């Protein structure tokens, strides 16, 4: 430390402009270094996890220079202490203000950097509109399960220790670091030039904020004016992208209210849609997984009442984004936005169906505004346009949704559309099944590449999948004496140590492996005995369609086809079981809310 002090104290232009410019850094080196370095950790982690192209290097250098100049600006207020009052009272007041300022700045910078570093390490993403949307819609139970899943991981513990050491280093540096006057011309000039470059970058980056603030509400969220290069730019961009304006909300309400159905044959008097959660089809024995995770569904398939579709994908790997797409007849490959067309429950209501929603993820979440996700289905204004009735409580087990259904839905023969939205295999996986339903254990997996904790996670996921099999079987049994058809699909997939040591989902650029395990989903159609007897033509249509290429983005067209609904938003070429189905259509994917490529192209890479 003394040698560094002597080097920076070499004789020179002590009274120069540069020396005065750098005085805040010299007087508060610990604060400056913390404020300059800590916010760049997420950018460094992002860069080293990517192929080091010119643009990755450029953005990293820009982020470092921007952070350097921001740290300088944040250090300037600390130099105001020389204006303290001569009496002790002024000095005490200043010390309180100064301590509060330092604590607030370090807390904000530290927490933001820690959070983004965690996101990058575990999910391969930095702050984005998708991340903020998930945070917005996460409830206390999901937060608790999330922490239980990740807080015990080695990477989480190491990251926490690393940041704790950074804080400890700051405390030591603050107490023992000398003050620098930067009398060495080379050091002085280099720092000053770097700060001036940082100033230029900061001025040029202001255009990002101006364009976002002045942008029209209907500007697509993904059309950011430039790539954000710092945590705070990313937060600002994400907030702007998540702005679902009152104009768009009112437009959607008008679309729902004004939608008209030209006719309906009610050829399927009872339609049930079961939306699962985080179901990796490659962990289903229906699709060849060696462990019996779907024994009940296998029995139903063997009896000829269950049809298993082999090539169905989800349009996104984020629940909120998926629900937007699968509830709207708008199609991604046509460049349509989900809120430009009436959601299918509204069309079913207009056609004369009673519509019910039994939800175990967002039930009871009633809002007075629209946003981009689940809460669209629980809005005090849109809800009456979508559903005849909904449940209002969430449950530890998805089986309880059947009790909700029996309590809420009257026993009549009227045409009915019921949607069950399960918690399914949502993490924390061990909480998704009762302890006495555990069937698999770590000893069932011959995986030398996994440690004991990872094998337990794998066993918990497979147990959750087997319990989900019981839930779906119970729902099917509940409609066995009805003229009913049931469609089961998962919102998206979930990696589970399939081709790398990783579980969950990521938001990195898509690869064939990510497409296979995060986007491919199970898709099942079950028909009761009476339904198969009354509708042999539909049975034949379904049987012919099991190998067709389909994206759940077009689910509304399948449902309207089964109901016999005629309206401007129904397209028979998008109905999976229709003889006019277009099997050559591209299947675009969303990474969160952002376009990420075509599945059929990516899966071949």
Give pTM, 2 decimals.
0.76
> Alpha-carbon distance 226 to 460, whole Å?
42
What is the mean pLDDT of the segment spanning 375-398? 83
Tell me the per-residue pLDDT of 244-300, one tens digit each, with 9 for 90 and over.
556 777 788 899 999 999 999 999 999 999 999 999 999 999 999 999 999 999 999
Of the pLDDT bands very low, low, confident and very high (cuts 50, 70, 90), residue 487 is very high
For residues 469 and 293, the answer to whether their CB atoms sit within 8 Å is: yes
Assign 95 a pLDDT band (cuts: 50, 70, 90). confident
Instruction: Please check whether residue 217 is in contact with residue 245, taking contact to mean a CB–CB distance below 8 angstroms.
Output: yes
CA atoms within 13 A on the CB side of 175: 5
CA gap 269, 305 in Å, rounded = 18
Residue 59 contacts by C-beta under 8 Å, 6 or more apart in sequence? 43, 47, 227, 229
Please give the pLDDT value at position 220. Answer: 39
Q: What is the average pLDDT score of the chain?
A: 85
For residue 365, what pLDDT is reported?
Answer: 64
How far is 127 from 228, CA to CA, in rounded Å? 10
Residues 275 and 269: their CA atoms lie apart, in Å, by 20
pLDDT given for residue 21 in this prediction: 77
The mean-pLDDT minimum among 39-43, 217-221, 243-247, 506-510 falls in: 217-221
Weakest-pLDDT range from 36-40, 59-63, 72-76, 374-378: 374-378
Give the tens place of pLDDT for each residue, 289-340. Answer: 999 999 999 999 999 999 999 999 999 998 888 998 999 999 999 999 988 9
3-state secondary structure labels for all residues of 279-310: CCHHHCHHHCCCCCCCHHHHHHHHCCCEEEEC
Distance between alpha carbon 226 and the CA centroid of its chain, in Å?
Answer: 22
Structure tokens at 328: 């709207």
Which class for 448: exposed (0-12), middle (13-18), buried (19 or more C-beta within 10 A)?
exposed
What is the arithmetic mean of pLDDT over 192-197? 86
Which among 357, 362, 469 is positioned nearest to 424, based on CA atoms?
Answer: 469
Q: Sign of torsion, CA 466 471 474 475?
A: negative
Q: Which CATH architecture has domain 263-354+393-602?
A: 3-Layer(aba) Sandwich (3.40)
pLDDT of residue 370: 41
What pLDDT score was predicted for residue 243?
Answer: 52
pLDDT of residue 17: 66
| pLDDT single digits (tens) 503-545 | 998 877 899 999 999 999 999 999 999 999 999 999 999 999 9
Residue with token string 């056609």: 351
Name residues whose C-beta falls within 8 Å of residue 112's C-beta, 6 or more positions apart in sequence. Answer: 39, 231, 232, 235
Listing DSSP states for 247-289 in one string gives: HHHHHHHHHHHH----EE--SSSEEEEEEESS--GGG-GGGT-
Rounded to an integer, the average pLDDT of 192-214 is 74
Mean pLDDT score, 163-178: 81
Give residue for tokens 């620098």: 180
Domain boundaries along the sequence of the chain: 2-241, 263-354+393-602
- Per-residue pLDDT at 139: 67
Tokens for 42, please give them. Answer: 């997420």
Cβ neighbours of residue 111 closer than 8 Å, sequence gap 6 or more = none
The pLDDT of residue 490 is 98
| 575 closest CA partner among 603, 538, 601 | 538
Identify the weakest region by mean pLDDT among 34-43, 228-237, 472-481. 228-237
Tokens 């099997």 label which residue? 583
Mean pLDDT of 97-122: 89
CA–CA distance, 249 with 232 (Å, rounded to integer): 27
Residue 343 has a pLDDT of 94
- What are the structure tokens assigned to 31, written together? 């604060």
As a whole number of angstroms, the distance between CA 605 and CA 596 comes to 14
- Judged against a pLDDT cut of 90, whether residue 131 lies above it is answered with no
User: Is the pLDDT score of 219 beyond 50?
Assistant: no
Half-sphere exposure (CA, 13 Å, Cβ side) for 101? 15
CB 270 within 8 A of CB 479: yes
Cα angle 125, 128, 129; round to 5: 140
pLDDT above 70: percentage of residues in the chain = 84
**Higher per-residue confidence, 142 vs 266:** 266
What are the pLDDT digits (tens) for 67-88?
A: 999 999 999 888 875 544 444 4
Among residues of the chain, what percentage have pLDDT more than 90? 51
């Amino acid at each position: 430390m003394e040698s560094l002090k002597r080097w920076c104290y070499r004789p020179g232009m002590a009274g120069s402009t540069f020396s005065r410019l750098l005085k805040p850094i010299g007087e508060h080196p610990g604060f400056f270094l913390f404020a300059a370095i800590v916010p760049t950790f997420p950018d460094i982690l992002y860069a080293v996890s990517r192929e080091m192209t010119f643009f990755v290097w450029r953005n990293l250098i820009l982020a470092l220079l921007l952070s350097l100049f921001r740290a300088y600006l944040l250090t300037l207020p600390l130099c105001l202490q020389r204006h303290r009052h001569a009496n002790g009272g002024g000095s005490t007041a200043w010390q309180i203000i100064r301590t509060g300022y330092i604590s607030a700045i370090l807390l904000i910078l530290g927490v933001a950097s820690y959070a983004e570093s965690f996101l990058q390490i575990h999910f391969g993403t930095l702050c984005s509109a998708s991340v903020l949307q998930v945070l917005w819609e996460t409830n206390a139970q999901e937060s608790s399960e999330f922490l239980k899943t990740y807080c015990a991981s080695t990477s989480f513990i190491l990251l926490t220790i690393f940041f704790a050491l950074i804080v400890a280093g700051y405390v030591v540096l603050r107490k023992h670091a000398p003050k620098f006057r930067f009398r060495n011309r080379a050091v002085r000039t280099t720092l000053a030039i770097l700060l001036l470059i940082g100033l230029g970058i900061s001025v040029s980056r202001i255009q990002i904020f101006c364009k976002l603030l002045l942008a029209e509400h209907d500007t697509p969220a993904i059309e950011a004016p430039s790539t954000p290069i710092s945590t705070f730019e990313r937060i600002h961009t994400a907030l702007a992208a998540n702005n679902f304006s009152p104009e768009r909300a009112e437009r959607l309400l008008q679309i729902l209210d004004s939608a008209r159905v030209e006719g309906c044959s009610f050829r399927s008097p009872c339609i049930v849609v079961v939306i699962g959660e985080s179901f990796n089809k490659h962990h289903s024995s229906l699709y060849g997984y060696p462990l019996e995770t779907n024994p009940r569904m296998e029995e139903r398939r063997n009896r000829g009442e269950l049809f298993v579709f082999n090539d169905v994908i989800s349009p996104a790997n984020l629940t909120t984004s998926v629900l937007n797409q699968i509830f709207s007849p708008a199609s991604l490959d046509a460049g349509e936005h989900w809120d430009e067309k009436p959601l299918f429950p509204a069309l079913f209501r207009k056609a004369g169906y009673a519509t019910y929603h039994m939800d175990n993820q967002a039930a009871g979440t009633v809002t007075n505004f629209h946003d981009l996700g689940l809460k669209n289905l629980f809005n005090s204004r849109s809800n009456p346009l979508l559903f005849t009735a909904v449940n209002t409580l969430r449950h530890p087990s998805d089986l309880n949704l059947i009790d909700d259904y029996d309590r809420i839905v009257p026993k009549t023969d009227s045409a009915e559309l019921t949607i069950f939205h399960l918690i399914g295999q949502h993490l924390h996986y061990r909480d998704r099944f009762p302890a006495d339903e555990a069937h698999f254990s770590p000893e069932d997996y011959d995986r030398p590449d996994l440690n004991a904790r990872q094998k337990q996670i794998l066993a918990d996921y497979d147990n959750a999948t087997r319990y989900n099999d019981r839930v779906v079987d119970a729902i099917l049994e509940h409609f066995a004496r009805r003229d009913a058809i049931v469609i089961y699909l998962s919102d998206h997939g979930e990696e589970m140590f399939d081709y790398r040591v990783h579980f969950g989902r990521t938001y990195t650029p898509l690869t064939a492996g990510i497409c296979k395990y995060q986007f491919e989903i199970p898709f099942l159609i079950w028909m009761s005995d009476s339904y198969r007897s009354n509708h042999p033509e539909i049975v034949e249509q379904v049987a012919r369609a099991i190998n067709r290429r389909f994206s759940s983005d077009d689910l509304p067209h399948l449902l309207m086809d089964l109901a016999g609904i005629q309206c401007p938003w129904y397209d028979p070429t998008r109905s999976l079981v229709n003889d006019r189905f277009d099997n050559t259509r591209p299947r675009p994917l969303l990474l969160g809310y952002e376009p990420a490529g075509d599945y059929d192209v990516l899966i071949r890479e």
